[in-house]
Amino acid sequence: MKNQENVTVSQEERFLFDLQGFVVLRNILSQAESAEYLEVLRCLEPKNYADEWMKSVGAGRPTRETGRQQQIRLNGLPRLDSIFDQLIAQPKILPYLYEFIGQPQLINTWSISKSLGAQVGGWHRGVPTTDYSYRNNVIGSRMLNVVYFLTDNGPEDGCIVALPGGHKSNIDLEWNQYSGLQLPGAVAVTGKAGDVLLLSETVLHDGLPKTTETVRSNLYYNYVHAHYNVMTREPRNCHHFYFPPEIRQRFNPKQLELTTWMELALWEY
C-alpha cells in the first residue's frame, strides 16, 4: 500500500494492525539514538518545573508527575528540549501515520520512566471503540499512540500490556477488577530499545509491574485524525498539547504539517 511518502506499509502489517489494534516495529531507532534521547531524559527528570500556566488555568497536569510509585512522567516533550522535535515526523514512522490515521495531527507527547516497584496503573483506552474503523480498504484510527522504547521492555520491566482485538470488543468487564495479565486475552507487549509500538487508543492497555532493577523509559507521541477536536479533549492540559510559535519555528515542513492545528488554536498560557 503506497502512501504520500511513497514508502510501503506491508499488507501483513495492515492485517496485524487491523486484527490486534497494534503492531510493534523493530529497530526503528538505532542504539545510539535511543541512548541520546535517554541521556536528555535523565537530565530533565529530576528537575522542578514552575508550571506558571497552571495558576492562570486553575488546574491541569503538571509537567513532571510523580504521583505513581516508582514512576516519573514528563508531559509536553518539545517544550522541554528540542531533541524531541525529531520524533514528531520520524521518517520511518510517517508512512504508518498516514496509513493508519489518514490525516495525522500530533495531540500529545510524554515520557514514562519506571523503576523497581512500579505497579500497574489500571486498564484504560484513550477513545471509545467507535473511534476505530475499517471501510473500503481504509484503516481509520482516530487516535494512535506511537511508543518509542528507549530501553528494553521485557516482561518484568513494567512493559505495556494490551488486549489484542480490544479495539473491536463489544462486551465490557469490570476492568478494575483485573490486574495486568489477569484480564482474559491480555498480552505483554515486549521489545528492545529502539523498537516502536503503534497502538490504536481504542485498544485497552496498561503497564505491568516493574520487578527488575533497571529503569524502563518510553516516549509517547500521540496522534489524532485532523477532524478530532484537540482543544476540547482536556481543556486543562492544552498547555502540553500546544506548542507556541517560538517552538514551532524550529520545525521542518513535515513537523509543521503534523502540528498544523496549533496555528488555529488560541492558547496564550
Ligand X SMILES: O=C(O)CCC(=O)C(=O)O
| C-beta atoms surrounding 138 within 10 Å | 11
- Contacts of residue 206, Cβ cutoff 8 Å, sequence gap at least 6: 120, 121, 122, 123, 124, 160, 161, 180
C-alpha cell at 212: 527488575
Of 100-108, 178-186, 201-209, 243-251, the window that binds ligand X (rule: CB under 6 A) is 201-209
C-alpha cell at 263: 496555528
C-alpha cell at 12: 501483513
Binding mask 219-258 for ligand X (x = CB under 6 A): -x--------------------------------------
> Does position 157 bind ligand X by CB under 6 A?
no
Q: Coil, strand, or helix at residue 198?
A: strand
Chain residues 1-30 in contact with ligand X, contact rule CB under 6 A:
none
- CB of residue 14 vs ligand X: minimum separation in angstroms? 24
First-residue to last-residue Cα distance in the chain = 42
Taking the least distance from each CB to ligand X, the nearer of 33 and 201 is 201
CA torsion sign, 46 to 69 to 36 to 222?
negative
- CB of residue 61 vs ligand X: minimum separation in angstroms? 12
Give the CA angle between residues 23, 37, 159 to the nearest 5°.
40
Binding mask 83-112 for ligand X (x = CB under 6 A): -----------------------------x
Binding mask 66-85 for ligand X (x = CB under 6 A): --------------------
Taking the least distance from each CB to ligand X, the nearer of 205 and 240 is 205
- CB of residue 16 vs ligand X: minimum separation in angstroms? 20
Phi/psi of residue 39, nearest 5 degrees: -60, -45
Which one of 60, 76, 104, 158 is in contact with ligand X (CB under 6 A)?
158
Distance CA 179, CA 161 (A): 10
Residues that bind ligand X (CB under 6 A): 112, 121, 158, 160, 205-207, 218, 220
